[in-house]
């Protein structure tokens, strides 16, 4: 599923270059490599210069003072320039802290489908270039110093040393440039984890490919051929987009390296449309659904043929627009048929929901709109696996249904033949036998209906129980088991509106664990998590009424909403909460760790039309006053 990339605006800033040497110009803000950090994302102080046709700048030429006005600060989190076929120069400064242990830092680009990336490192102190390296699909694999699916460039940087990193990037696909500075040991660990996850993904998809191919050999069902082709294109696309394909499979084939990403993308859409047609039997569906599917197949045949040739901006536009239209058409068709009680379409809706969700998450992470890490970075791959598993189950269900239908037809023919034969021998006995068979069939049908009804009732009851549990989990903080921030925001808004409507006072307590960072730093994050759990338990026990709400506000902060409570009552509850936390006997690994909290209290009748954020701000200011006054105490907001 293709999604148009959101365009990010470049805010131009003039950068004055130094006078020591033409190449000594540097970005205005250095990225600091700290000994406490395992990786640093390059998301600030990055400058871009787009090279116009015919310029062909060298590393020294692009740093000339007269080009200072063309360098622009990029203000997005991750570099994304939609529809940018021209080479782009990227520049940022790096500074290594003094006392940083002798570790190797590596610049990584987590979008391996770049046509070429030329890496240059400049030492502004000695005014000389210290490193030049190249990588990318158009570069020989031997040019990259580290064998990895991502593009990696080691930095030659000593303790307390500065450097300017200069990149010349050119791509035939979407211009995305996620940059990360890695500690070498942490990079190796990350590459290992990534390889294991990708191995698991490709293993699952590979097993499913051969399994469905074998099913075609035994059943001769055409849907298994198109589905196997879809699985194969998915594997090839993932190999191309993750960089494992050019690294391990077709690295010696320059044409496939350059065209693989677009080719497998288009091929995947083509075989997906064919499989979709066979899977849902669109020839028997409404005419406009059948015609639209035929048009989509024809479109992807043409675009796939174009992808075999040289990449053009038009090809990228066609892939993006066609992907969106094909996805929307597939969703509409499957939902339409699902509403018509088509069980296969219902499977398809769920399967596509998985891959669409994974793709959306993947795009948001790639463009820096949400934080990545862990399984989130592999959301699209997980979506592919879920989609393929569900579609395989649906195909198996379809074969089972057709087999059962054939067996039922054969049984009916056999019973009919027996009935005719007996009727010819003795009509009266045949009539009696027919009546008996009919009665038995009715009884069996009634029993089946009763069994299916009971199964359906059990399934509906299980769904209701699951929905209740899901609703509870959606408003509960996973660690502390109190309510989460979203539920707090909803309930505070409701109570604030009720207070404004009825004139009853409302109190809000914001609590923050004192010196929580020291607990994490001194005894570890596991102890910090246990501390949060005990504080949450103490807060819940200290709040007496069932109408009161205890929620985790964020990090080490908690919030307590007290409906129909004035300032004096709220201060009493706050003091009781503070004392309950202070009395916690937190023993971790044989040593007692003192815990205390600071509380800010806001208590008043909500004003009509006054935003609830003002109420939160009052409690927050009181909390900061409590912390500023020495912590482990309660402060009432000025308006309380």
Domain containing 317 — which CATH number?
A: 1.20.1070
**pTM for this one?**
0.53
Most confident among 287-301, 420-434, 469-483 (mean pLDDT): 287-301
Sequence-distant (6+) residues with CB within 8 A of 434 are: 419
522: confidence class by pLDDT, cuts 50, 70, 90: confident
**Is there a domain that residue 455 lies in?**
no
List strand residue ranges (DSSP E) for 548-633, in order: 549-554, 557-563, 587-588, 591-592, 597-604
**Is there a domain that residue 127 lies in?**
yes
Residue 27's pLDDT is: 47
Residue 640's pLDDT is: 61
Is residue 29 classed as helix, strand or coil in its secondary structure?
A: coil
What is the span of the domain harbouring residue 161? 30-184
The rounded distance, in Å, linking the Cα atoms of 260 and 506 is 62
- Is residue 230 domain-shared with residue 318, that is, in the same domain? yes
Residue 440's pLDDT is: 85
With 0-12 / 13-18 / 19 or more C-beta atoms within 10 angstroms meaning exposed / middle / buried, residue 408 is: exposed
Question: Could you please report the per-residue DSSP string of 233-272?
Answer: HHHHHHHHHHSHIIIIISTT-HHHHHHHHHHHHHHHHHHH
The rounded distance, in Å, linking the Cα atoms of 486 and 38 is 32
Most confident among 99-113, 168-182, 382-396 (mean pLDDT): 168-182
Could you say which of 238, 262, 556, 618 is catalytic?
556
**Is there a domain that residue 326 lies in?**
yes
Q: Is the pLDDT of residue 503 over 80?
A: yes
> Which two structure tokens, joined as six digits, stand for 129?
């270039």
- Is residue 162 domain-shared with residue 195, that is, in the same domain? no
The rounded distance, in Å, linking the Cα atoms of 578 and 395 is 60
Q: Would you say 368 and 78 are in contact if contact means Cβ atoms under 8 Å apart?
A: yes
Q: What is the pLDDT of residues 587-608, one digit of tens each?
A: 888 888 899 999 999 999 988 8
- Is residue 327 domain-shared with residue 232, that is, in the same domain? yes
Residue 212's pLDDT is: 75
**Is there a domain that residue 472 lies in?**
no
Is residue 73 classed as helix, strand or coil in its secondary structure?
A: strand
Residue 468's pLDDT is: 54
C-alpha count within 13 angstroms, C-beta hemisphere, residue 365: 18
Q: Would you say 243 and 147 are in contact if contact means Cβ atoms under 8 Å apart?
A: no
**Is there a domain that residue 598 lies in?**
yes
356: confidence class by pLDDT, cuts 50, 70, 90: confident
Distances (CA, A) of 472 to 459, 532, 551: 20, 20, 14
- Is residue 257 domain-shared with residue 342, that is, in the same domain? yes
What percent of the chain has a predicted confidence (pLDDT) above 70?
87
The rounded distance, in Å, linking the Cα atoms of 142 and 124 is 29
**Is there a domain that residue 453 lies in?**
no
- Is residue 165 domain-shared with residue 200, that is, in the same domain? no
> Which two structure tokens, joined as six digits, stand for 640?
């309380």
- Is residue 573 domain-shared with residue 622, that is, in the same domain? yes
Q: How far is CA 241 from the centre of its chain?
A: 16
The mean pLDDT of 157-163, rounded to a whole number, is 82
> Which two structure tokens, joined as six digits, stand for 431?
């009539």
Paired sense of beta strands 175-177 and 105-109, if any: unpaired
The last residue of one of the domains, among 365, 399, 433, is 399
Q: Would you say 190 and 370 are in contact if contact means Cβ atoms under 8 Å apart?
A: no
The rounded distance, in Å, linking the Cα atoms of 133 and 143 is 7
- Is residue 306 domain-shared with residue 386, that is, in the same domain? yes
* Radius of gyration (C-alpha) of the chain in whole angstroms: 33
Q: Would you say 261 and 130 are in contact if contact means Cβ atoms under 8 Å apart?
A: no
Q: Which carries the bigger pLDDT value, residue 534 or residue 290?
A: 534
Sequence-distant (6+) residues with CB within 8 A of 200 are: none
CATH number, residue 88:
2.60.40.2380
Residue 133's pLDDT is: 87
**Is there a domain that residue 445 lies in?**
no
- Is residue 204 domain-shared with residue 174, that is, in the same domain? no
User: Average pLDDT, whole number, for the chain?
Assistant: 80
The mean pLDDT of 320-340, rounded to a whole number, is 82
Residue 581's pLDDT is: 94
535: confidence class by pLDDT, cuts 50, 70, 90: very high
Please indicate whether residue 556 is annotated as part of the active site: yes
The rounded distance, in Å, linking the Cα atoms of 171 and 30 is 27
**Is there a domain that residue 317 lies in?**
yes
Q: Is the pLDDT of residue 143 over 70?
A: no
For the CA atoms of 96, 101, 104, 107, the dihedral, rounded to the nearest 10 degrees, stands at -40
The rounded distance, in Å, linking the Cα atoms of 262 and 315 is 9
- Is residue 618 domain-shared with residue 514, that is, in the same domain? yes
Strand partners, 634: 599
The mean pLDDT of 411-440, rounded to a whole number, is 81
Q: H/E/C letters for each residue in 469-538? A: HHHHHHCECCCCCCECHHHHHHHHHHHHHHHHHHCCCEEEEEEEECCHHHHHHHHCHHHHHHHHHHHHHH
Residue 145's pLDDT is: 63
Residue 239's pLDDT is: 83
CATH number, residue 535:
3.30.70.270
Q: Which helix (H) or strand (E) holds 108?
A: strand 105-109
Distances (CA, A) of 271 to 295, 389, 584: 14, 17, 62
The mean pLDDT of 542-546, rounded to a whole number, is 86
17: confidence class by pLDDT, cuts 50, 70, 90: very low
Q: Would you say 13 and 72 are in contact if contact means Cβ atoms under 8 Å apart?
A: yes
**For 16, which DSSP code?**
P
The last residue of one of the domains, among 137, 165, 184, is 184
* Number of structural domains the chain divides into: 3
Q: What is the pLDDT of residues 37-58, one digit of tens each?
A: 778 888 778 999 999 888 888 8
- Is residue 177 domain-shared with residue 242, that is, in the same domain? no
Q: Which carries the bigger pLDDT value, residue 44 or residue 539?
A: 539
- Is residue 180 domain-shared with residue 87, that is, in the same domain? yes
Q: Which carries the bigger pLDDT value, residue 637 or residue 226?
A: 637
Q: Would you say 528 and 520 are in contact if contact means Cβ atoms under 8 Å apart?
A: yes
Q: Which helix (H) or strand (E) holds 81?
A: strand 79-81
- Is residue 205 domain-shared with residue 354, that is, in the same domain? yes
The mean pLDDT of 340-364, rounded to a whole number, is 74
The last residue of one of the domains, among 336, 369, 399, is 399
The rounded distance, in Å, linking the Cα atoms of 366 and 177 is 9
Q: Would you say 585 and 531 are in contact if contact means Cβ atoms under 8 Å apart?
A: no
Residue 165's pLDDT is: 93
SS3 content of the chain, % helix, strand, coil (to 5): 55, 15, 30
Q: Which carries the bigger pLDDT value, residue 568 or residue 228?
A: 568
């Amino acid at each position: 599923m293709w999604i148009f990339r959101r365009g990010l605006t470049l805010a131009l800033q003039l950068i004055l270059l130094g006078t020591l040497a033409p190449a000594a110009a540097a970005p205005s803000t250095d990225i600091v490599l700290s000994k406490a950090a395992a990786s640093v994302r390059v998301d600030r102080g990055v400058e871009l210069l787009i090279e116009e046709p015919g310029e062909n700048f060298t590393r020294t030429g692009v740093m000339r003072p007269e080009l200072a006005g063309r360098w622009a600060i990029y203000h997005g989190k991750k570099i994304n320039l939609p529809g940018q076929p021209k080479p782009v120069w990227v520049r940022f400064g790096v500074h290594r802290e003094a006392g940083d242990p002798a570790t190797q830092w590596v610049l990584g680009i987590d979008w391996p489908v770049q046509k070429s990336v030329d890496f240059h490192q400049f030492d502004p102190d000695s005014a000389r270039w210290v490193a030049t390296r190249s990588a990318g699909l158009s570069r020989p694999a031997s040019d990259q110093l580290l064998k990895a699916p991502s593009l990696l460039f080691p930095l030659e940087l000593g303790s307390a040393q500065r450097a300017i990193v200069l990149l010349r990037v050119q791509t035939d696909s979407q211009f995305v440039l996620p940059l990360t500075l890695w500690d070498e040991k942490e990079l190796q660990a990350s590459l290992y984890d990534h390889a294991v996850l990708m191995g698991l993904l490709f293993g699952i998809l590979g097993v499913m490919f051969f399994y469905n191919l074998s099913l075609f050999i035994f059943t001769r069902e055409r849907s298994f051929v198109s589905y196997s082709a879809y699985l194969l294109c998915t594997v090839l696309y993932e190999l191309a987009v993750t960089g494992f394909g050019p690294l391990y499979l077709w690295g010696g084939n320059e044409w496939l390296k350059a065209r693989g990403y677009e080719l497998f993308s288009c091929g995947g859409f083509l075989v997906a449309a064919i499989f979709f047609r066979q899977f849902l039997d669109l020839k028997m569906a409404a005419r406009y659904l059948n015609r639209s599917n035929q048009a989509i197949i024809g479109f992807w045949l043409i675009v796939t043929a174009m992808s075999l040739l040289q990449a053009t901006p038009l090809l990228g536009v066609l892939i993006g627009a066609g992907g969106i239209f094909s996805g929307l058409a597939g969703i509409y068709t499957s939902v339409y048929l699902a509403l018509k009680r088509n069980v296969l379409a219902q499977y398809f809706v769920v399967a596509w929901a998985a891959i669409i969700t994974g793709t959306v998450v993947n795009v948001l992470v790639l463009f820096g709109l949400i934080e990545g890490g862990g399984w989130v970075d592999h959301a699209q791959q997980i979506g592919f696996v879920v989609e393929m598993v569900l579609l395989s189950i649906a195909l198996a269900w379809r074969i089972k249904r057709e087999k059962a239908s054939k067996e039922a037809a054969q049984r009916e023919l056999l019973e009919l033949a027996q009935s005719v034969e007996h009727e010819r021998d003795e009509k009266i006995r045949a009539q009696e036998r027919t009546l008996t068979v009919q009665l038995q069939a009715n009884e069996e049908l009634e029993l089946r209906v009763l069994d299916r009804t009971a199964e359906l009732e059990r399934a509906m009851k299980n769904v209701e129980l699951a929905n209740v549990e899901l609703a509870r989990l959606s408003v509960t903080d996973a660690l502390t088991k109190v309510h989460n921030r979203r539920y707090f925001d909803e309930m505070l808004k409701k109570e604030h509106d009720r207070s404004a409507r009825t004139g009853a006072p409302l109190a809000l307590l914001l609590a923050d664990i004192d010196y929580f960072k020291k607990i994490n730093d001194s005894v570890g994050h596991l102890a910090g998590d246990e501390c949060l759990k005990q504080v949450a338990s103490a807060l819940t026990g200290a709040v007496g009424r069932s109408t009161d709400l205890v929620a985790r506000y964020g990090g080490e902060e908690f919030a307590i909403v007290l409906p129909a409570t004035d300032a004096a009552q709220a201060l009493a509850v706050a003091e009781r909460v503070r004392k309950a936390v202070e009395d916690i006997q937190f023993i971790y690994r044989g040593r007692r760790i003192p815990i205390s909290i600071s509380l800010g209290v806001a208590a008043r009748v909500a004003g009509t039309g006054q935003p609830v954020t003002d109420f939160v701000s009052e409690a927050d200011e009181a909390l900061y006053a409590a912390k500023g006054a020495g912590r482990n105490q309660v402060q009432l907001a000025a308006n309380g």
